[in-house]
Structure 1
Amino acid sequence: MRLSNRNKASVYNSVSTLLLMTVMFGIVGFLANQYRFNALGKESYLLIIIPVLLLIIFHVSGRQIFEYDSDGEALNFKNRNIIPFLSKPLHDEFPKYKLIKYDVVNIFFIKRLYVTVSSKNNGSTMLKYQISYLTQKEVNDLKLSLNKVVKANAEKKDKKTNDDRRTFA
């Protein structure tokens, strides 16, 4: 299964630009009010505070572009920001049999995907992806696909355990 919200990059870029412009206009409006008009009083601080909070929420929500591919024998995860220098893009590829479990965490407007993968060195490694910009349908499709892989891995492990018991008996 393939899942990607790459086609929405232009929308996210536009929203980011609009938020930056709102912050700039807020600063200009604040300065004009402070030094020229003095019409708003203390409320003039809202001209800066509200756009800055919206911009912070937009960028704290995480990397906007998420791509997932489970076709073949490997799982591919890509997570990147629309503004390349803000955060390092993530790209992980590993065989399906290494997937142990996953968890999707929702906290207000922030969604995270935690994937636990078996590792030779540490036993297991947790990979973190930001999926705040996926729709609920896309999140449900992602969960369904990952459930299939986890279930198949659990069945293989149970079958192997049962086969090992028979050889020792």
Structure 2
Amino acid sequence: MRLSNRTKTPIYNFINTLLLMLLCIGIVGFILEKYKFNILGGISYLLIIFPLVLLITYYVNGRQIFEYDSDGEALHFRNRNIVPFLSKPLSDEFPKYKLLKFDTINIFFIKRLYITISSKNNGSTVLKYEISYLTKKEVNDLKFSLNKVIKANKERR
């Protein structure tokens, strides 16, 4: 099974550009308000704070692009940000038989996928992926596919 939200990259780029423009307009508006108009008073700080909070929330939400491929004998996970210098892209590929378990965590608007795989050195390793930008159906399809792999692994043992 293949799962990818790469086709939504233009939408994420648009949102990113919109938030950056909103922040720039807020800064210009704040400077004009502070030194020229002086109409809003203390509320003028919201012209910077509100767009800044939205931008920080957008980036804290995690990497936007998630790709999963379970075709063949290996599982392949890729997770990257649309802004390349903000975070290092993740790319992991391992045989299906190494998958031990997985868990998804939902905290408000942040979703994470934790994959536990068997390893020769430590016994097991946990891989973390950010899946906040996947739809509910995509998350359910991902869970279904991973459960299928785990079930097949248990039958082999």
* TM-score (norm. length: structure 2): 0.99
**What RMSD over aligned residues (CA atoms) do the two structures have, in Å?**
0.5
* Higher Cα Rg, which structure: 1
1:39 aligns with 2:39: yes
Alpha-carbon deviation of 1:140? Answer: 0.3
* Unaligned segments of structure 2, at least 5 residues: none
Alignment partners' CA distance in 2, 1:11 and 1:58: 13
SS at 1:3's partner residue? Answer: strand
Corresponding residue for 2:7? Answer: 7
Alpha-carbon deviation of 1:152? Answer: 1.1
Corresponding residue for 2:72? Answer: 72
The residue identity in structure 1 corresponding to 2:29 is: G
Alpha-carbon deviation of 1:156? Answer: 1.6
Q: Deviations over 1:90-134 (max 9, x none)?
A: 000000000000000000110000000000000000000000000
* TM-score (norm. length: structure 1): 0.92
Aligned length: 157
Alpha-carbon deviation of 1:55? Answer: 0.2
SS at 2:18's partner residue? Answer: helix
Alpha-carbon deviation of 1:86? Answer: 0.6
1:30 aligns with 2:30: yes
Alignment partners' CA distance in 1, 2:105 and 2:14: 27
Corresponding residue for 1:153? Answer: 153
Alignment partners' CA distance in 2, 1:107 and 1:66: 18
SS at 1:87's partner residue? Answer: coil
Identity of aligned residues (%): 72
- Matched ranges for 1:106-121 at <5 A: 106-121=106-121
Corresponding residue for 1:131? Answer: 131
Alignment partners' CA distance in 2, 1:77 and 1:18: 29
Corresponding residue for 1:17? Answer: 17
Alignment partners' CA distance in 2, 1:16 and 1:154: 43
- Matched ranges for 1:82-93 at <5 A: 82-93=82-93
Q: Deviations over 1:8-47 (max 9, x none)?
A: 0010011000000000000000110000001111111111
SS at 2:127's partner residue? Answer: strand
Alignment partners' CA distance in 2, 1:140 and 1:42: 46
Segments of 4+ in structure 1 off by > 4 A?
Answer: none
Alignment partners' CA distance in 2, 1:144 and 1:137: 10
